[in-house]
Structure 1
């Protein structure tokens, strides 16, 4: 109470104003109560302590109250610490055998997680301070074409040096196989037939750009043209996202921080421009996230607008067509948003789900693929987790299990699968091509897998966590493979002659000196002490997502559940990281990049005053329920 008395004394001007309205007084009381809670949480100073006189009787009470309110954070930190230690153990020793050293590491990681959340909260509190109503800003984030154009130009100008340095554009290994397929040339998967191993829409887009490039000079020009267009499209989407953050009530300071982050963090330009399927997916994911937040804020009312509804259907289909997991993300998110949508409008979300399911599960595989002679993708990708678990079972208990069980596994995975097993990757176990002759062995294999689960459950847990360890373990300088836990970039793909058959595609060799310098400079920055925290995969995936969910649940008595629904694209996308066959390779880096791109929007959802569509109140006055103030 002493803190509240001090705050009231420090704001006498409002009480002296006879013209103060009831809403202003209620807003003031809410601010006082909020500031008092913040001071108790962060400073824990009483009035007499700030005057230099220690009040020992107040400190234990405040500390006990603060501890009670932070039990959830303590539990979360302990879980994150244990998971980080598990990831570290699996990477270093290959199993989950706990020791005193491992326990100490887990507790240290838990302490780091605890401080991490507190520091993020302090940073968010500073970034979310009320804007000065009298201030004028050169970058105003006005929600119009001019405001969008200013942000777009800033982002493009900051990204353009990377695009120029990486001329004639970066192409990844997966893309080379897609281009070979488009031109009916032998590749890793087929002898020239198109396959749905990678999204066929991506293959068509990449192939058409290279074909157009050959018409105007060379295939390399087509790749560079794609790079420029992809950069512009992604920058446009990010600029629109920043404008939307401001429109829903994010402070100018937070929006400026987000603009600086998007413009200067090298992950954005390095993954926005390459010719690779994930780059196509990124701007669509950002715009889909904006649509989802708007649905939550309006309780689905915005779905009444045909233009919005049609755009949502288009974005959901685009997500599904450009990335294999995009279909599941779109369907799950729309189903979750049904919970916040008013009854009469829920059918519109169901229509979105039905449209995605019809196109991806019926139209493409049953109609388009047979007509276009497109081979379906192999089953090995969706079975990578059980395959990895069976391989570990044979590696460590092959002589102890029944012969029938062992034979059932080896008929599907091969007799040498135990030797091919690697803790952190399932690629060597599952392979890249599926033999349809093995389909008849899948049922006996499923029985053998279930039997292994019943007999050796810890082995299955170790196999699974080993694959996904990069989402858990924190980087440290003593790790020989620390780069697997960071966020490396790939620039060597500017040389388009790295694969067989490039000449037939009109692609040539290019000097990679400048690209190598860019790649090495970013890798060096990531391996510095500060860089290892800023570029940690575990922090940008597990820790950041955990922070967002935790902050939403802290407000569950108010509008926390609405905020949680607003960040469902982030949460659902994170969940699908856990079916990845590998988490520590340069390829798996592409799986987690959407988390980085959508994080500014998620932070805006946390920072805004309300998840409603009401207009933002003047600075210093918050529209709150009087019952909430009294209860607080």
Structure 2
């Protein structure tokens, strides 16, 4: 096989000859037109994000154009460097070599990886005793104990997944039985860490089983064990920590479906596990239902005809539980209030707020009144470029339901008259997925991947004492948090911990490499990474992208990235071939610029 690189050999009359430099350059340029286009798009988007954060609009200047071209050049080099790294990591293993860490697909192999990961994560868990609890969790615990909270006077609500609320509440209740609610949180922290480490160890074993090289698997093990985002987001008592290991295991199932063309669905155990994981995704995160349904529907394309109905059953089971059983049966019986409409309407609400902020005096009175009846008369003053929280609020008044139809008409009218304003409002909310961090930005932390450790003090909210929670010394937690934040703000750290790189750029790289192989098996590889791609798409409905809370939205991208890279690196997406081969394994003739 020839390497996909600039200095590849060309075949002429069956004899390998080295092309002259101009021909080489022209051939390489033709094959890289797709990368050039992708880099230009990424550069323009990065410049757009930067402009919205710094000046609040998309008014281009010479400086902005130069920045966009510089970002495009960085994106181009980023992809080339990743390809070089993947080629090196994916070199075929020496058949005579022996490895202390063999990644054998058995219990012992899994146990070795599990112990390595846990030992590397455990210092964080100990330093953060008695466990980190986020603000959202405090409201869930108050609801579970029927105490006043941000959303209700004590009634349970589906604003946050009710399954998460129940799990957290039961752990704190058990903690109070054995000493204090703080012990319950720490017990949850320990169990959640073990569960997530188990899932990651299994994922690494699976990567090796499908043909990833030993070197790539070792790099993935080092990444999972040492990258601080993993232990800092695996252990806290927060809804996203429950979701992470489920997402990783669901990703493994999806790759196996693609590799077997759906044949693995014949096994009842596999099919049942897939249904269970899809339901668990849906029950632990609001977007989980849509991720599970969309991914399963996309996998129908690669599944053999007789087995497609099994994927449809998975979709039907998720839809039945989440759209019928819970809201129509369980919630009324348990007196659970539904979540508010403001969350799913955050994008149009933000667009309307920007419209009133900049064109409030120019639009018709009827249009303005329709917007203000839903969002309030002071919505223009509450508008912020990068967040919709102040506009949408946290609680929905059902009295506003009757005003939604006139509001929809006003929104459409605004779209027709001021489309750029709507684009600016949308991209401003999602700018952290686009803009690269730079040292000159006083809010550079919004573009990085900060961690939250102050939640080790469980007395930060009113009503904590009624839950059996107490104040704790946060000195050690603060040191951990500040050390990681300092590392992120270094020149190297700003690249390693960039939100835009770990979301938009990494996903773009994976999709690009799949499409380059579309005449080989690129479409199969693309289907294999659908959990990553679909999860990324749902980042774009976030009401905010630059806050510490929005970090939790993007963390699944980091957790599933090693598996996505393995899908790129293996020689074949079929079950028969397990020999590892790198990104260079596809013949040059099969690689098409896109």
Q: Is this a same-fold pair by TM over 0.5? A: yes
Q: Distance in 1 between matches of 2:17 and 2:255?
A: 46
Give the superposition deviation at 1:628: 7.6
Task: Identify the residue that residue 593 of structure 1 maps to in structure 2.
Answer: 555
Deviations 1:545-580 (A, max 9, x none): 000000000000010000000000000000000000
Check whether the contact 1:81–1:109 (CA below 8 A) recurs between aligned residues.
yes
Deviations 1:388-442 (A, max 9, x none): 0000000000000000000000000000000000000000000000000000000
Q: Give ranges in structure 2 of 5+ residues lacking alignment.
A: none
Give the superposition deviation at 1:306: 0.1
Q: Distance in 2 between matches of 1:630 and 1:266?
A: 37
Check whether the contact 2:175–2:182 (CA below 8 A) recurs between aligned residues.
yes
Q: 2:285 aligns with which of 300, 306, 323?
A: 323
Deviations 1:264-297 (A, max 9, x none): 0000000000000000000000000000000000
Q: 1:97 to 1:619 in 2, by over 3 A?
A: closer
Q: Distance in 1 between matches of 2:364 and 2:584?
A: 68
Check whether the contact 1:471–1:542 (CA below 8 A) recurs between aligned residues.
yes
Q: 1:619 to 1:350 in 2, by over 3 A?
A: closer
Task: Identify the residue that residue 332 of structure 2 maps to in structure 1.
Answer: 370
Check whether the contact 1:44–1:59 (CA below 8 A) recurs between aligned residues.
no
Give the superposition deviation at 1:53: 21
Check whether the contact 2:519–2:590 (CA below 8 A) recurs between aligned residues.
no
Check whether the contact 1:130–1:251 (CA below 8 A) recurs between aligned residues.
yes
Q: Distance in 1 between matches of 2:362 and 2:223?
A: 54
- Scaled by the length of structure 2, the TM-score of the pair is 0.96
Check whether the contact 2:117–2:197 (CA below 8 A) recurs between aligned residues.
yes
**Is 1:348 the equivalent of 2:310?**
yes
Check whether the contact 1:380–1:432 (CA below 8 A) recurs between aligned residues.
yes
Q: Distance in 1 between matches of 2:193 and 2:385?
A: 36
Give the superposition deviation at 1:52: 26
Check whether the contact 2:373–2:403 (CA below 8 A) recurs between aligned residues.
yes
Q: 1:99 to 1:335 in 2, by over 3 A?
A: same
Check whether the contact 1:46–1:58 (CA below 8 A) recurs between aligned residues.
no
Give the superposition deviation at 1:262: 0.0
Check whether the contact 2:243–2:284 (CA below 8 A) recurs between aligned residues.
yes
Give the superposition deviation at 1:49: 18
Task: Identify the residue that residue 187 of structure 2 maps to in structure 1.
Answer: 225
Give the superposition deviation at 1:623: 11
Q: Distance in 1 between matches of 2:244 and 2:593?
A: 43
Deviations 1:172-212 (A, max 9, x none): 00000000000000000000000000000000000000000
Q: 1:386 to 1:151 in 2, by over 3 A?
A: same
Give the superposition deviation at 1:42: 7.7
Q: 1:403 aligns with which of 361, 365, 388?
A: 365
Check whether the contact 2:31–2:592 (CA below 8 A) recurs between aligned residues.
no
Give the superposition deviation at 1:54: 19
Q: 1:257 to 1:538 in 2, by over 3 A?
A: same
Deviations 1:518-562 (A, max 9, x none): 000000000000000000000000000000000000000010000
Check whether the contact 1:541–1:595 (CA below 8 A) recurs between aligned residues.
yes
Q: Distance in 1 between matches of 2:582 and 2:135?
A: 54
Q: Distance in 2 between matches of 1:483 and 1:323?
A: 25
Q: Distance in 1 between matches of 2:10 and 2:317?
A: 64
Count of residue correspondences = 594
Q: 2:396 aligns with which of 434, 454, 479?
A: 434
Check whether the contact 1:132–1:619 (CA below 8 A) recurs between aligned residues.
no
Check whether the contact 2:203–2:252 (CA below 8 A) recurs between aligned residues.
yes
Give the superposition deviation at 1:486: 0.1
Q: Distance in 2 between matches of 1:121 and 1:74?
A: 15
Check whether the contact 2:3–2:587 (CA below 8 A) recurs between aligned residues.
no
1:49 match: secondary structure: strand
Q: Distance in 1 between matches of 2:292 and 2:18?
A: 55
Q: Distance in 2 between matches of 1:221 and 1:472?
A: 40
Check whether the contact 2:90–2:583 (CA below 8 A) recurs between aligned residues.
no
Q: 1:554 to 1:51 in 2, by over 3 A?
A: closer
1:42 match: secondary structure: coil
Q: Distance in 1 between matches of 2:82 and 2:15?
A: 31
In the TM superposition, 1:416-495 aligns within 5 A as 416-495=378-457
Give the superposition deviation at 1:58: 1.1
Check whether the contact 2:144–2:156 (CA below 8 A) recurs between aligned residues.
yes
Give the superposition deviation at 1:249: 0.2
Q: 1:280 to 1:528 in 2, by over 3 A?
A: same
In the TM superposition, 1:81-480 aligns within 5 A as 81-480=43-442
Q: 1:462 to 1:265 in 2, by over 3 A?
A: same
Give the superposition deviation at 1:81: 0.1
Deviations 1:489-536 (A, max 9, x none): 000000000000000000000000000000000000000000000000
Check whether the contact 1:40–1:66 (CA below 8 A) recurs between aligned residues.
no
Q: Give ranges in structure 1 of 5+ residues lacking alignment.
A: 1-38
Farther-moved stretch of structure 1 (596-605 vs 48-57): 48-57
Check whether the contact 1:408–1:444 (CA below 8 A) recurs between aligned residues.
yes
Check whether the contact 1:617–1:623 (CA below 8 A) recurs between aligned residues.
no
Deviations 1:313-344 (A, max 9, x none): 00000000000000000000000000000000
Give the superposition deviation at 1:466: 0.1
Check whether the contact 2:517–2:591 (CA below 8 A) recurs between aligned residues.
no
Q: 1:280 to 1:50 in 2, by over 3 A?
A: same
Which consecutive segments of 4 or more residues in structure 1 shift more than 4 A? 39-57, 617-632
Give the superposition deviation at 1:300: 0.2
Q: Distance in 2 between matches of 1:402 and 1:535?
A: 46
Give the superposition deviation at 1:631: 16
Q: Distance in 2 between matches of 1:365 and 1:623?
A: 50
Check whether the contact 2:9–2:16 (CA below 8 A) recurs between aligned residues.
no
Q: 1:302 to 1:622 in 2, by over 3 A?
A: farther
Check whether the contact 1:40–1:62 (CA below 8 A) recurs between aligned residues.
no
2:591 match: secondary structure: helix
Check whether the contact 1:199–1:321 (CA below 8 A) recurs between aligned residues.
yes
Check whether the contact 1:156–1:235 (CA below 8 A) recurs between aligned residues.
yes
Q: 1:448 to 1:229 in 2, by over 3 A?
A: same
Task: Identify the residue that residue 484 of structure 2 maps to in structure 1.
Answer: 522
Check whether the contact 2:3–2:586 (CA below 8 A) recurs between aligned residues.
no
Q: Distance in 2 between matches of 1:613 and 1:530?
A: 39
Deviations 1:99-130 (A, max 9, x none): 00000000000000000000000000000000
Q: Larger relative contact order (C-alpha < 8 A, sep ≥ 6)?
A: 2
- Scaled by the length of structure 1, the TM-score of the pair is 0.91
Q: 1:605 aligns with which of 567, 570, 580?
A: 567
Q: 1:43 to 1:567 in 2, by over 3 A?
A: closer
Give the superposition deviation at 1:616: 2.6
Q: 1:481 to 1:65 in 2, by over 3 A?
A: same
Give the superposition deviation at 1:615: 3.6
